[in-house]
Amino acid sequence: MRHALAAWILILILPCVAPSCAGRPETASLSPAYIAEGAPYLLLPPEELERPMDMAQQMEGRGGGRDFVLQAWVQADEREIRMVWLNALGAEIGRLIFQSSGLELSSAFLPAGLLPEYIVADFQLCFYRIAALERALGNAGLALRAESPASLDGVERRVIFQGEKKIIVIEKSPGRIRFENLARGYAYTLRGDF
């Protein structure tokens, strides 16, 4: 599926050119995010978050042959995940709210039909508890191998496999997360107060 790649490219490129949005919110029932072909990942509830956060995040990356940069404010706790995307002037251009009961997306710059579950899935793979991710990924026919910071000079590594094939690599260190989706062909670096 190209949904995940298209989501991040549009989210990251358009903030620099899009005016502030007045898009109306759309609430969707939850669909699986196919993080690899034939691997339907069902979103986990917010209570599986490793720790609450309320912070600015910057994302820089590459996908679809283009570089992108995004500014966002992310608030997350055991009740909900809230992301607010900002343009270069700091004006809100979109928001996403995820709760166990559903997902709401409000943005004028995302294409119709784009599933916000892909955005939430990437967030969960980075910031959710290992045990919960292992169960959810196992249900999707995938496997998670996690290496603790002690064995990697302060870097936690999460590697997701489909069979023997490595499809996602996440490296977490203080203030920085490197996410690479080998199956979908995009990668980015998140910076924040992690």
Q: Could you read off the pLDDT of 33-42 as tens digits, one per residue?
A: 999 999 999 9
Determine the Cα–Cα distance for residues 161 and 95; give it in Å rounded to an integer: 31
Whole-angstrom CA distances from 77 to 97, 128, 157, 173 are 12, 11, 23, 21
pLDDT of residue 163: 96
The pLDDT tens digits of the residues spanning 150-172 come to 655 778 999 999 999 999 999 99
- Helix, coil or strand: residue 129: coil
Domain extent for 102: 3-191
In this prediction, residue 103 has a pLDDT band, given cuts at 50, 70 and 90, of: very high
Phi, psi of 71 (to 5 degrees): -110, 140
Overall domain count for the chain: 1
At 35, list the tokens: 């993080």
Q: What is the CATH number of the domain that holds 90?
A: 2.50.20
| CB atoms inside a 10 Å sphere around CB 149 | 13
The residues that bridge with 75 in the sheet, in sequence order, are: 54, 82
